[in-house]
A and B are shown apart, each in its own frame.
Chain A
Amino acid sequence: MKILIKNGYLVDPKANRNGLYDIIIDEGKVWEIGNNLEVSGGDIIDASGKYVLPGFVDAHCHLRDPGFEYKEDIESGTRSAAAGGFTSIACMPNTNPPADNEAVIKYILNKAKHEGVINVFPIGAISKGLKGEELSEIGELKFAGAVAISDDGRPVKSASLMKKAMLYASMFDITVISHCEDLELADEGVMNEGYYSTVMGLKGIPAAAEEVMVSRELILSEYTGTPVHIAHVSTELSVELIRNAKKRGVNVTAETCPHYFSLTDEACDGFNTLAKVNPPLRTKKDAAAIIEGLRDGTIDIIATDHAPHHLDEKNVEFNIAANGIVGFETALPLAVTYLVKPGHLTMEQLVHKLCVNPSKILGLSKGSIEVGQAADITIIDVNEVNTVNVAKFKSKSKNSPYDGFKLTGAVYYTIVNGKVVVREKVLL
C-alpha cells in the first residue's frame, strides 16, 4: 500500500529541501516528493504542523546481543530505537562473544533481519577479544557487514596498535572509532574529578584522561594520514583539540551524546548511580563547550551511546555500579530542549548531527529522503512537552537519569524501509 505524508515541513539539507512538501512512499521506497500530491486508497499521514526528517541514524549504541540479553536484545533494542525516531543504528562490539569475527557480525545481521524493526549496522572490534593486543580480522569484518571498528568500552592502550589499526582499516575504507581514555590517569575513578567527586569521596576521572588520548589519536591520524572518529566527546579541551586538528586538515570526526550537553557531574550527587557513565558527566563549562562544538561544526554527530543495564547493576554501591545510560528514547527531546529551543542549533543543523553526518562517517546510504531510496523517515513535533517516564521505555532497561524531566519534542512517526513502525507516538 502506498503511503502519503501530507503537509509536513521537510528538512533535508542533503537534498536541499527545507519547506512544505508531500511525500509518496511505495514498495518501501520514496516514490515522489512534491506539492499537492494525491494517492487513491493509500495510507494518508497528516503531518501538518510537524517536521518530516530523514530517519535518525545512531552511530553509537549497545544492543547487548549476543551475551547480555537480560539487559537488551536486538528486538527490544531496535524497538526502543524506533520509539526514539531512529531508523538505522550502529551497535558496538562489546558483546559476549565480542564482535571481533565474521560469525558474530553475521549473527547480529541475521537476527536484526528477523527480529529487528529498524536497520542495524554492526561495528566490529579493533582488536581480538577487545584486548588491545592484536588486530582483529578487519578485512573479514568489513566484508561480513561491519561498518566501522572500535574497541568501545575500553581504549586501545597501545599507540602502536592504534597506528596499525588506522593504517590497516583505511586500506579497507572502514571507519576507526576511538574510545579515548587513558586508564592510568582515570585510575579507577568512577565520576568526573572535581568538586562533586571530592565532596562525595569518590575517585575522580580527570578530564585529562580523555584529552591525553584524544591528542594521541589526532597525532596518529595526522601521522598516518588516515581518518579517525572520536567517540563520546565530553570535555572542553577535547573539543578545542579537535577544532584545531580540523583546522590543520586532520581527517577527524567527532561525536557527543545528549547527556554531555544536558547534564553535569552534579547529577551524581547523593550517589545517583543512574548518572554514572563513561566518560563521566563533566562540568557546566564542559557542557557549554560541547554545545559550542556542535554549533560550529567541530562535533559532527549526536550519538546516543545507548547503554542498557539491569536494575541490579545500578542498585548497588556507586563504585561498583555499571556505567551507562539508555539513550534512544530521550535523544530527540534532549536535543530539542537543550539545543534547538535555546537557539544553539537550527533544525537543519540538527538533521546534520542526527542523520547526514553519521551516515556519511559510517558510509551508509542514509540520512536523506530521496526518490528511489529506501523510505526511512521520522516525523516529529518540536513543541510538545512530555514528562519522561522510564517505566514506559521500550528498552528492557530503565537506567536513565532523566526520569521525571519535562522535555520538549516528540517522535510521532518512524517509518523504516517504507513501513510504519511508530504511528501517532505508538510503537506498533
Chain B
Amino acid sequence: MTLKSKDLLGLKDLTKEEISLILDTAKTMKYVLTTNNKKTPHLQGKSIITLFYENSTRTRLSFELASKYMSASAANISASGSSVAKGETLIDTGKTIDMMGSDVIIIRHPMSGAPHLLARNVKASVINAGDGMNEHPTQALLDMFTILEKKGSLQGLKIAILGDIYHSRVARSNIWGLTKMGAEVSIAGPSTLMPSGIEQTGVKVYNTVQEALIDADVVMGLRIQLERQKKGLFPTTREYSRFFGIDEKRLRLAKEDALVMHPGPVNRGVELSTFVMDGEQSVINEQVTNGVAVRMALLYLLTRRGSSENSN
C-alpha cells in the first residue's frame, strides 16, 4: 500500500488507511531513531527542500533531521533571505525549486491553501508544514502517533482540545485525523476564538474547559498567540488562564492516566500551568521525538511512491 496523492496537504484529504500506514511506518522510524547509528539509506539520491515563509524552530529542524537521518540532500529556503523578498510569486518560486530537481518541497506559509497552490504547479511532492489557519498535518500525525504509543489505539478515546481553536491549524488537522481514526473529540475555548460551524466536523463543542475535560483520555492545549489579545479576542492572559488554562485541579477532571499534550511552544502559566506541563502526565517532550519519526515515515512513503511511478 502507498499514499494516493503525490502530496501531503492535509489530513482532511487522507483516508483512515493512509493515516494508519503513516503511523505504522513511523513505528519503524522511531526504532531507527533510538539506535546508535541514526542513518538509513532510504532517501539516498533524493533532495528535500524546506521553503518556510514563517518562523519555525521545531518543525523545520525536525524535517531537516528526518531528511538527513535518511541520507537525503536537504536545503533550506527562508522567505526573508530569498527572491521571495523581491516579490516573486509562490508559483514562480516553486517552479524554480522544481527545475533544480527537488523531490520533496516542505512548505510553511502564513496563508491557508498556499501548499495546495504550490502542489498544483510543481512536479515535486509537497508537504504542508503549516498553512495559515488551515492545517498542520505532520503535527497532528505526531500527536496521533504519541497517543497511539501510550494508549495502544485511538478508537473510542476521548480527546479534549482546548484554547484558540479559531486560529489553530493544529486543531483542524487533529480534528480531521482523530475523528477519522474513531476518537471522540471535544473542544472548548473562548467563544470569540471558536470558529463558526466547527460542530459540523463531528466534534463536540463545550462552553467550559471543565465540561470538555471530564473523563478525557488526552488533554491537548493550544498555543495562544499573545497578539490576539491586542485584537480584543480575550481581555488579558490572566483572565485567559483563569478560565481556560489547565492547572492540576482542572486536570483531575480528566481520567487519571490522561495524557497532557501541547504542540509548543508553551506560554507557561497561560495555557498550561508549569506543574501540568512538567508533570508526570505530560508527553510534550516525547511529541518532539515522535515528530522526527513521523516526518521520516512521510518522506519515505512520498519518495517511494515517486520512484515506483518513474520506474518505467
Contacts and interface: CB of A to CB of B under 8 A. Distances in A.
A318 interface: yes
Contacts of B113: 200, 202, 271, 317-319
10 contacts: A193-B196, A194-B196, A196-B197, A201-B112, A201-B131, A202-B112, A202-B134, A271-B117, A317-B117, A319-B113
A204 interface: yes
Interface of A: 193-204, 206, 270-271, 312, 315-320
Contact of A319 (B132, B135, B198): B132
B196 A200 contact: no
Contact of A270 (B91, B116, B197): B116
A198 B194 CA distance: 9
A280 to B, nearest CB: 13
Nearest to B91: A315
B117 A200 contact: no
A201 B196 contact: no
Contacts of B195: 197-198, 204
A194 to B, nearest CB: 5
A369 to B, nearest CB: 48
Contacts of B148: none
B37 interface: no
A199 B196 contact: no
B116 A202 contact: no
Nearest to A198: B195
A198 B175 CA distance: 12
Given A200-B112, A312-B89, A316-B91, 13 more contacts: A193-B196, A197-B196, A199-B201, A200-B113, A200-B134, A201-B112, A201-B132, A201-B135, A202-B133, A204-B195, A271-B112, A271-B117, A319-B111
A320 to B, nearest CB: 7
B304 to A, nearest CB: 27
Nearest to B168: A201
Nearest to A272: B113
**Majority SS of interface residues in chain B?**
mixed
A187 to B, nearest CB: 9
B169 interface: yes
B114 interface: yes
B288 interface: no
B-side interface size class: 20 to 34
Contact of B172 (A201, A317, A320): A201
B249 to A, nearest CB: 31
B223 interface: no
Nearest to A193: B196
A198 B200 CA distance: 10
Contacts of A199: 12, 172, 197, 201
A45 B113 CA distance: 51
Given A271-B116, A317-B114, A201 B134 contact: yes
Interface in B111-137: 111-114, 116-117, 131-135
B200 A317 contact: no
B111 A198 contact: no
Nearest to A271: B113
A387 B134 CA distance: 33
Nearest to B173: A201
B90 interface: yes
Contacts of A202: 112-113, 132-134
B295 interface: no
Contacts of B158: none
Contacts of A317: 90, 109, 111, 113-114, 117
A262 B226 CA distance: 41
Nearest to B195: A198
Q: Pick the 8 closest A-B CB pairs, nearest first.
A: A201-B134, A271-B113, A195-B197, A201-B133, A198-B195, A201-B112, A317-B111, A319-B111
A73 to B, nearest CB: 25
Contacts of A270: 116
Contacts of B201: 198-199
Contacts of A200: 112-113, 134
A313 to B, nearest CB: 11
Contacts of B12: 199
Contacts of A315: 91, 117
Contacts of B131: 201
Contact of A195 (B91, B109, B133, B196): B196
A320 B111 CA distance: 9
Nearest to B117: A317
A417 B42 CA distance: 73
B175 to A, nearest CB: 9
A407 to B, nearest CB: 26
B259 to A, nearest CB: 25
Interface string B76-93: 000000000000011100
A196 B117 CA distance: 18
Given A200-B134, A271-B112, A316 B197 contact: no
B126 to A, nearest CB: 13
Contacts of B200: 195
Nearest to B53: A317
Nearest to B133: A201
Nearest to B199: A195
Nearest to A195: B197
